[in-house]
Amino acid sequence: MSKDLAGKAAFVTGATSGLGRRFARLLADAGASVAIAGRRVDRLQTLKAEIEAAGGKCAAVALDVTDAKRIVPALDEAEAALGPIDILVNNAGMNSFGMVTDLPDEGFDAVMNTNLRGPFFLARETGRRMIARGQGGRIINIASIGTFKVLPGLTAYCISKAAIGMMTKCLAREWARHGINVNAICPGYIETELNSEWFESEGGKKQINSFPRKKLMEEENLDAMMLLLASDRSSAITGSLLTVDDGQSL
């Protein structure tokens, strides 16, 4: 699928680390112009330089997805630099580990604002622009196996990802007639900045040993699904919650 996305413009949130960084480079390598969004501007500039050094086109956009008032200006900045957005990757996310009885109100709100409220408003504004343009588009939400499965100690996270799953289906249904495909990738556990400390602990090692293949996934395990959903080859795929978890949820 090399250069399959030539002429397309993508907007990737949470691009300063982990999966977001991986997705941004992947889409750029496939030929898309990429707007990378996140809070840590220094990391955005580093990634932008890397993408451009590899021959890609990139715009860095400072964005905290919990700040709804920044969404329209952020998309305006991206489109001024790259043209209309064809692909939105709603990747920004966080978790809050612990028992529900110990979860503070602000902890719950932080998870919901980052994992659900921000992605919803981004999808809504991007959808409005895609509808006005009249050429369809792709919205790819990053959910989790927690969309379907209880992950102990991550109740707020699972609630937010289950909501992302239903949001995906609702938007896919509402925007189908406009040629906008909305899907969600539901990954299993991949070691990132959010969970590396846990997986180095005895409890984390025990959890890994409980998986059918007794290992974590790698970031690149999501590459094929991301490229498929971002490309025209996924024209008949919409409203799907696609699990890529190496059997971890079995």
Please identify every residue annotated as catalytic: 157
- Long-range contacts from 218-224, C-beta under 8 angstroms, 24+ separation: 218/190, 219/18, 219/19, 219/22, 219/190, 220/22, 221/187, 221/190, 221/246, 222/19, 222/22, 222/23, 222/185, 222/187, 222/190, 223/22, 223/26
Q: Which two tokens stand for residue 68?
A: 């709804």
Q: Is 176 helix (H, G, I), strand (E, B) or coil?
A: helix
Adjacent-strand bridge partners of 140: 89, 183
- Tokens linked to 40: 């840590």
- Say how far apart CA 241 and CA 3 lie, in whole Å: 25
